[in-house]
């Protein structure tokens, strides 16, 4: 799930600041808790609308959100850390507004340019046979890097941020309220500088005041043999750049392994069906099969093998990611029953039936049934 702040405000991504302001006023009025007492759902929407407006009404935050949107991970298995409006908000405002289990352990960033880099997710797709050996992969990734012009300060080179007049650089404003129970004092992040304590009057032109620029990079990675579908490898510090002392995000490489048309995967083991003719099962046979690797392997099918029996070939499965060695290849024997017979085959089978004395059974006493085995 991804969150679209523009959708929340019901405006297009090209909306002017005036349109955004207008949309916010309209929606905030519509969803305001005072107008909808006791409606938790609308209250939540009111919060989301307010959060979206906080970001989109700030030119540098909006630019960063726009830029970020192009490289935002689009995974479907839980890597999208922007899964909620609160996540986005926390990303832009450093957790100062958020609750959550880690909120108290996080120090309020003092650097106005502080932000932690987001992780980026890249997906690589393998055929199952690729998993048999180690793979060298080149990944092209777009990521945010520290702006070379302002070095992440967000201010145009040669200019300096000024101290916020509203909060005198503290980043917090307090208000007092007189109630029947006494005077209450509450502190909140400064709305003018958004808690940074500083105002950037001339934002860096190269990065539009975001402190970061998008760059295309090529990363070479070695993927070990035996990697399973859904495995995620983490390249620490290779994600989007943090600014103002914030750490870089990581690059998460998600491995997808395409299903093979023949071989099924069960951990390190491979499974396949081995079709055999009736005489081969009755008499026993030696057959040649093609392994996933392309190699031809001889398989001995013992005399009297039943359909459903499994023949296991040790260490012919996939390499184990840890601990070395390989899994096994399990071949489930299947009876390959012909639908058509040649005349010669019909003659031989008929005489086999006569030899076994079964001819005419259909007209004689009923066949003995057996109790089915419920698995
Ligand atoms: Zn810059
Ligand atoms: Zn301030």
Could you report the per-residue pLDDT of 108-132, keeping only the tens digit for each? 445 666 778 999 999 999 999 999 9
**Which ligand has the shortest distance to the CA of 112?**
2
Give me the residues near ligand 2 (ion), CB cutoff below 5 Å. 164, 166-167, 190, 192-193
Please state which CATH number belongs to domain 264-363: 2.60.260.20
258-303 confidence digits (pLDDT tens): 999 999 999 999 999 999 999 999 999 999 999 999 999 999 999 9
Q: How far is the CA of 122 from the centre of ligand 1 (A)?
A: 26
Binned at pLDDT 50, 70 and 90, residue 204 comes out as very high
CA neighbor of 203 nearest in space, from 83, 63, 3, 373: 63
Q: Give the global pTM.
A: 0.58
Q: How far is the CA of 372 from the centre of ligand 1 (A)?
A: 75
Q: What per-residue confidence (pLDDT) applies to 47? A: 83
225-253 confidence digits (pLDDT tens): 999 999 888 888 999 998 877 889 999 99
Q: How far is the CA of 198 from the centre of ligand 2 (A)?
A: 6
CA distance 191 to 184: 20
Q: What per-residue confidence (pLDDT) applies to 107? A: 40
Q: How far is the CA of 213 from the centre of ligand 1 (A)?
A: 8
15-55 confidence digits (pLDDT tens): 999 999 999 989 888 888 878 888 888 888 888 888 888 88
Q: How far is the CA of 14 from the centre of ligand 1 (A)?
A: 22
**Which ligand has the shortest distance to the CA of 165?**
2
Q: How far is the CA of 208 from the centre of ligand 1 (A)?
A: 7
**Which ligand has the shortest distance to the CA of 190?**
2
Torsion angle of C-alpha atoms 341, 344, 350, 355, degrees rounded to 10? -140
Q: How far is the CA of 65 from the centre of ligand 1 (A)?
A: 15
Binned at pLDDT 50, 70 and 90, residue 331 comes out as very high
Q: How far is CA 303 from the centre of its chain?
A: 49
**Which ligand has the shortest distance to the CA of 173?**
2
């Amino acid at each position: 799930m991804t969150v679209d702040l523009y959708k929340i405000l019901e405006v297009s991504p090209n909306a002017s600041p005036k349109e955004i302001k207008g949309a916010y006023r309209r929606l905030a009025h519509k969803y305001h808790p005072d107008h909808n007492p006791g409606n938790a759902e609308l209250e939540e929407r009111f919060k989301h609308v307010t959060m979206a407006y906080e970001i989109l009404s700030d030119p540098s935050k909006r630019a960063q959100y726009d830029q970020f949107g192009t490289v935002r991970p689009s995974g479907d298995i839980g890597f999208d850390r922007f899964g909620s409006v609160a996540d986005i908000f926390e990303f832009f405002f450093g957790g100062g507004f958020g609750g959550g289990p880690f909120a108290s352990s996080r120090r309020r960033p003092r650097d106005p340019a502080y932000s932690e880099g987001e992780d980026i997710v890249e997906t690589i797709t393998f055929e199952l046979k690729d998993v048999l050996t180690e793979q060298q992969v080149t990944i092209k990734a777009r990521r945010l890097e520290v702006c070379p012009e302002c070095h992440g300060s967000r201010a145009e080179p040669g200019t300096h941020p000024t101290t916020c007049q509203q909060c005198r650089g503290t980043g917090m404003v307090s208000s007092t309220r007189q109630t029947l129970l006494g005077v209450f004092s509450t502190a909140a992040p400064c709305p003018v500088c958004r808690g940074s304590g500083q105002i950037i009057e001339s934002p860096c032109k190269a990065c539009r005041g975001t402190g970061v620029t998008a760059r295309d990079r090529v990363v070479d990675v070695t993927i070990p043999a035996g990697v399973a579908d859904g495995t995620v490898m983490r390249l620490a510090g290779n994600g989007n750049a943090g600014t103002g002392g914030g750490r870089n995000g990581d690059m998460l490489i998600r491995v997808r392994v395409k299903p093979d048309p023949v071989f099924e995967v069960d951990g390190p083991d491979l499974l396949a069906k081995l079709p055999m003719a009736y005489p081969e099962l009755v008499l026993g046979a030696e057959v040649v099969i093609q392994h996933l690797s392309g190699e031809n392997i001889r398989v001995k099918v013992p005399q009297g093998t039943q359909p459903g029996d499994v023949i296991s070939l040790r260490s012919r499965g996939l390499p184990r990611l840890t601990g070395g060695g390989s899994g096994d290849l399990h071949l489930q024997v299947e009876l390959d029953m012909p639908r058509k017979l040649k005349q010669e085959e019909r003659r031989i089978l008929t005489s086999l039936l006569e030899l076994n004395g079964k001819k005419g059974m259909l007209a004689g006493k009923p066949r003995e049934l057996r109790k089915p085995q419920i698995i």
